[in-house]
Amino acid sequence: MAGRVLLDTNVIIAFFSGEKAVSQRFTDAEVLVSSTVLGELYYGARKSAHAAANITRIEQFASQLYGRIRDRLRLKGRPIPENDIWIAAVALQHGLPLATRDEHFNKVDGLRTENW
pLDDT recorded at residue 20: 92
**Kind and range of the H or E run holding 30:** strand 29-32
CATH number, domain containing residue 42 = 3.40.50.1010
**Residue 55 C-alpha from the chain's centroid:** 16
Give the global pTM.
0.58
- Residues 6 or more apart whose Cβ sits within 8 Å of residue 94: 32, 34
pLDDT confidence band for 91 (50 / 70 / 90): confident
Number of domains present in the structure of the chain: 2
- Domain extent, residue 30, equals 1-61
**Residue 86 C-alpha from the chain's centroid:** 9
- Residues 6 or more apart whose Cβ sits within 8 Å of residue 55: 42, 45, 46
Residues in the chain: 116
Same domain, 54 and 69: no
> Using CA atoms, how far apart are residues 3 and 28, in angstroms rounded to an integer?
7
Q: Which of 61, 78, 98 is the last residue of a domain?
A: 61
Same domain, 12 and 54: yes
Residue 1 has pLDDT above 50, yes or no: no
Pairwise pLDDT comparison (28 vs 109), residue with the higher score: 109
